């Protein structure tokens, strides 16, 4: 058992209140810092990003935007329209610009797609990223497909196809790798699914974490975006937030049928990027940035692997296999996720995600993000401390 002292209980319950106000997302560290100044958050392992990439982007911003004063133009003038930025991305993605829709974060793309193209029924795998069912309009049927913990929350492809054939939805969603479980579907399996389910009107594949996944030691990114050529029901949704650690910039995009892109542009999503987002997209496709970014991406993958294996050695913590930059972990010794998360935050300043509000998870689950190497070491030491104390306490109390 993890025991909270009285003062810790008070803080834990204040955090809980902030969480409730934040809906299905964890409160940001800014909110917590503002409302609970007595808390010192040292590491935000709720937030899922490659923080080495953030430093890379910042370095460029300092040199090329701030020092040159180009920042003035970026904020004074209108940025380009959607299709101009799509054109910038086109060569890099190897996808025609007419198939690319730029969003102010992937959240906008999710909202635009689900509001405009889902008309009857949607199937989402749970646990999931909540906007996929929260954003659906009234009257649309949501079918939840529970991923099985016995199968490590991996998608069972044949069972899934059977479900889709039975339910006949117009939209299905696959997050690859999945948030919050980290489960990954290989590119060859995606191709197989697309072939089998060619009659489904909208097949959404959210690749917001695909940069952290790999299939062999080349660490090549296995995006399905190019398959748009053969499957016009495919909709790739991609956030730049996680891979590049730039949640504040709000940059994402979708790859979809050109008719769909055209429809969205005619219905209000024309001028939806900020100057900073446009600047970022132009930076992203440059060779120099790509070379540096690749190094940071592979470093992040390798350090995440090491981090997960360390976490897997903890007593009372079951770590599920993940191909993302975070892991889903289950407390198996009777401790609650609430007590574990509270203790880590209050005593060690380590903030991780309590998954008790995630539908599709029965039990005590947390999601832990891989941060920098130094931060990961602190997370491991703190978690071990909390869990070992919990274990010893349990033995004494018997
Ligand atoms: C975070 C996240 C998004 C949204 O990202 P933004 O670009 O910041 O809006 C979309 N999909 C998944 C699966 C995510 O985890």
For 35-87, what is each residue's pLDDT tens digit?
888 888 899 999 999 989 999 999 999 999 999 999 999 999 999 999 999 99
C-alpha to C-alpha distance for 383 and 257, rounded to whole angstroms: 46
Q: How far is the CA of 387 from the centre of ligand 1 (A)?
A: 31
What is the Å distance from ligand 1's center to 239 Cα? 5
- pLDDT per residue as tens digits for the range 351-394: 999 999 899 998 899 999 999 999 999 999 999 999 987 766 55
Q: What is the pLDDT of residue 26?
A: 81
- 107 C-beta closer than 6 A to ligand 1: yes
How do the domains of the chain map onto residue ranges? 6-54+291-397, 74-286
pLDDT of residue 14: 86
Residue 23, pLDDT score: 79
Taking CA atoms, 386 is separated from 1, 204, 265, 380, in Å, by: 10, 40, 51, 10
Q: Whose CA is nearest to atom 12 of ligand 1?
A: 208
CATH of 74-286, one of 3.40.309.10, 3.40.50.740, 3.40.640.10, 3.30.1600.10: 3.40.640.10
pLDDT in tens, 245-259: 999 999 999 999 999
Written as six digits, the tokens of 226 are 């190019």
Residue 322: CB within 6 Å of ligand 1?
Answer: no
Ligand 1 touching residue 129 (CB < 6 A): yes
Residue nearest to atom 10 of ligand 1 (CA): 106
Mean pLDDT of 267-280: 92
Q: Which of 315 and 121 is assigned the larger pLDDT? A: 121
User: What pLDDT, on the 0 to 100 scale, is given for residue 388?
Assistant: 85
Q: How far is the CA of 241 from the centre of ligand 1 (A)?
A: 7
Query: Which pLDDT band, with edges at 50, 70 and 90, does 398 fall under?
Result: very low
Q: Is the CB of 205 under 6 A from ligand 1?
A: no
Nearest of 215, 235, 250 to residue 175 by alpha carbon: 235
Pocket of ligand 1 contains residue 105 by CB under 6 Å: yes
The best mutation among 49, 54, 107 to test binding of ligand 1, ranked by most ligand atoms within 8 Å of the C-beta, falls on 107
* C-beta 106 within 6 A of ligand 1: yes
Q: How many angstroms separate the alpha carbon of residue 9 from the centre of ligand 1?
A: 32
Q: CA dist 202 to 21, 184, 258, Å?
A: 33, 20, 13
235 lines ligand 1 (CB under 6 A): no
Band the pLDDT of 221: cuts 50, 70, 90. very high
Q: Is the pLDDT of residue 15 over 80?
A: yes
Indicate whether 196 pLDDT > 90.
yes
pTM as predicted? 0.94
Res 33: pLDDT? 83
256 lines ligand 1 (CB under 6 A): no
Q: Which CATH architecture has domain 6-54+291-397?
A: Alpha-Beta Complex (3.90)
Q: Is the pLDDT of residue 293 over 70?
A: yes
Mean pLDDT of 188-205: 98
Residue pair 132/124 in contact by the 8 Å Cβ criterion: yes
The separation between CA 112 and the C-alpha centre of its own chain, rounded to angstroms, equals: 18
Residue 247 CA: nearest ligand 1 atom is 8
Regarding the beta carbon of 181 and ligand 1, being less than 6 Å apart is answered no
Mind spelling out the 3-state secondary structure of the chain? CCCCCHHHHHHHHHHHHHHHHCCCCCCCHHHHHHHCCCCCCCEECCCCCCHHHHHHHHHHHHHHHHCCCCHHHHHHCCCCCHHHHHHHHHHHHCCCHHHEEEECCHHHHHHHHHHHHCCCEEEEEECCCCHHHHCCCCCCEEEEEECCHHHCCCCCHHHHHHHHHHHCCCEEEEECCCCCCCCCCCHHHHHHHHHHCCCCCEEEEECCCHHHCCCCCCCCCCCCHHHHHCCCCEEEEEECHHHHCCCCCCCEEEECCHHHHHHHHHCCCCCCCCHHHHHHHHHHCCHHHHHHHHHHHHHHHHHHHHHHHHHCCCCCEEECCCCCCEEEEEECCCCCHHHHHHHHHHHHCEECEECCCCCCCCCCEEEEECCCHHHHHHHHHHHHHHHHHHHHHHHHHC
Could you tell me what percent of the chain has a pLDDT over 70?
98
Question: Ligand 1 test: best mutation among 46, 209, 239, most atoms within 8 Å of CB?
Answer: 239
Amino acid 373: pLDDT: 96
């Amino acid at each position: 058992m993890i025991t909270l002292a009285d003062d810790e209980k008070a803080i834990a319950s204040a955090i809980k209140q902030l969480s409730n106000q934040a809906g299905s997302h964890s409160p940001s560290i800014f909110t917590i810092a503002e409302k609970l100044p007595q808390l010192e958050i040292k590491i935000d392992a709720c937030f899922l990003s490659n923080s080495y990439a953030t430093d890379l982007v910042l370095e460029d911003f300092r040199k090329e935007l701030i020092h040159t004063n180009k920042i003035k133009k970026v904020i004074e003038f209108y940025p380009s329209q959607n299709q101009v930025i799509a054109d910038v991305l086109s060569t890099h993605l190897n996808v025609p610009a007419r198939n690319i829709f730029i969003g102010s974060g992937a959240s906008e793309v999710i909202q635009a797609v689900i509001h405009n193209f889902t008309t009857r029924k949607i199937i989402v795998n749970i646990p999931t990223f909540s906007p996929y069912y929260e954003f659906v309009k009234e009257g649309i049927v949501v079918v939840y497909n529970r991923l099985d913990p016995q199968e490590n929350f991996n998608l069972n492809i044949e069972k899934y196809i059977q479900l889709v054939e039975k339910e006949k939805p117009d939209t299905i969603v696959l997050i690859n790798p999945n948030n919050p479980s980290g489960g990954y579907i290989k590119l060859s399996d995606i191709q197989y699914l697309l072939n089998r389910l060619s009659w489904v009107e909208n097949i959404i594949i959210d690749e917001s974490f695909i940069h952290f996944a790999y299939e062999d030691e080349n660490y090549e990114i296995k995006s399905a975006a190019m398959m748009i050529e053969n499957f016009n029901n495919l909709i790739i949704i991609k956030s730049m937030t996680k891979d590049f650690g730039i949640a504040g910039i709000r940059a994402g995009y979708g790859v979809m049928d050109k008719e769909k892109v055209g429809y969205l542009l005619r219905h209000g999503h024309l001028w939806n990027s900020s100057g900073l987002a446009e600047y970022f997209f132009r930076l992203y496709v440059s060779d120099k940035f790509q070379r540096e970014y690749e190094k940071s991406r592979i470093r992040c993958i390798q350090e995440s692997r090491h981090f997960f294996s360390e976490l897997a050695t903890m007593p009372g913590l079951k770590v599920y296999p993940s191909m993302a930059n975070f892991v889903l972990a289950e407390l198996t010794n009777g401790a609650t996720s609430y007590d574990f998360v509270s203790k880590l935050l209050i005593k060690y300043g380590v903030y991780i995600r309590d998954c008790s509000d995630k539908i599709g998870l029965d039990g005590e689950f947390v999601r832990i993000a891989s941060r920098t190497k130094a931060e990961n070491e602190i997370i491991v030491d703190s978690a071990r401390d909390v869990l070992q104390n919990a274990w010893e306490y349990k033995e004494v109390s018997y």
